[in-house]
Amino acid sequence: MYKLLTSLACLLILLQANTTFAESNRYQQFPQTAEGTGKVFMGREIAHVMGYQGAGWLEREGREKEERTDLLIQQLHLKKSMVIADIGAGTGYLSRRLSEKVGANGVIYAVDVQPEMMSKIKALAKKHSNIQPVLSQVDDVKLAENSLDMAIMVDVYHELEYPFETIQSLLKALKPQAQLILVEYRAEDDKVKIKETHKMSEAQIIKELTIHPLKWQTTIHSLPLQHIVIFTKQ
């Protein structure tokens, strides 16, 4: 019995050491490129966050035609009364479109880390009563556990300062079998004229997201510039 307890204690110490090692080596820092932060996660350089100064670009007149946001909304198959988190909501461009689909009994949590963007979302929430502004942290989405039917990030994940921790916090907020949807500019397509650190390949997205209890469901390629990569919480 003593030998068994000793072996179990050694195993526990080893597991704790491995966990600590994994956490301490989760991110690497290299000299930053002209387009990135120099912080690397799973072989990918994390991009700089688009600041609130880029709000005008998010609301540009040609965005609907260029990105076909209408097709994106169709592919989500939204239902009335759904509770959805728009992570990295920015100006609320997507949030207000989602709010129309889920109806008065639905909820759209418009989540952003920048206080300056929050002021824009709060103004939007005065016109759309089902939009709720949420100021997040760089590693925590600040949403209640088991509260979401769906979460979506449009051109956001590649900018997360702490992608692992942010997804972990979001997983707590997702209900079992809820969907997590990433929309990212296609890195595989040279015709997509976006800075390299602001694009992601389908393979890289799946690689990073499936280290969590998330199952890749499908990838939709119907948008002109982006792919829609859909996961379900396991």
Q: Is 67 a residue whose pLDDT tops 60?
A: yes
Residue-wise pLDDT for 53-64, tens only, equals 878 879 899 999
Q: Evaluate whether residue 134 is within a structural domain.
A: yes
Q: Residue 174, class by beta-carbon neighbours within 10 Å (0-12 exposed, 13-18 middle, 19+ buried)? A: buried
Tokens of 60: 């540009």
Q: Tell me the mean pLDDT in the region 130-149.
A: 98
Note the pLDDT of residue 228.
98
Q: Evaluate whether residue 17 is within a structural domain.
A: no
Q: What angle do helix axes 93-102 and 115-125 make, rounded to 10 degrees?
A: 30
Q: Evaluate whether residue 19 is within a structural domain.
A: no
Helix, coil or strand: residue 133: strand
Note the pLDDT of residue 180.
98
Q: Is 27 a residue whose pLDDT tops 80?
A: yes
Q: Evaluate whether residue 23 is within a structural domain.
A: no
Using alpha carbons, list the distances in angstroms from residue 102 to 22, 79, 80, 97. 40, 6, 4, 9
Domain count, the chain: 1
Q: Evaluate whether residue 210 is within a structural domain.
A: yes
Token pair 């590649």 is at which residue? 158
pLDDT band for position 22 (cuts 50, 70, 90): low
Q: Tell me the mean pLDDT in the region 98-107.
A: 97
CA-CA-CA-CA torsion sign (73, 74, 77, 80) = positive
What is the Cα–Cα distance from 133 to 172, expressed in whole angstroms? 19
**CATH code of the domain containing 192:** 3.40.50.150
Q: Is 21 a residue whose pLDDT tops 50?
A: no
Q: Is 135 a residue whose pLDDT tops 90?
A: yes
Q: Evaluate whether residue 13 is within a structural domain.
A: no
Using alpha carbons, list the distances in angstroms from residue 50 to 46, 53, 59, 160, 177. 12, 8, 13, 11, 31
pTM flag (> 0.95): no
Number of other residues whose CB lies within 10 A of the CB of residue 191:
7
Note the pLDDT of residue 106.
98
What is the Cα–Cα distance from 130 to 205, expressed in whole angstroms? 30
Q: Evaluate whether residue 146 is within a structural domain.
A: yes
Q: Evaluate whether residue 139 is within a structural domain.
A: yes
Chain mean pLDDT for the chain: 91
Q: Tell me the mean pLDDT in the region 64-90.
A: 97
Note the pLDDT of residue 8.
43
Query: What is the residue range of 109's domain?
Result: 29-233
Q: Is 13 a residue whose pLDDT tops 80?
A: no
pLDDT band for position 221 (cuts 50, 70, 90): very high
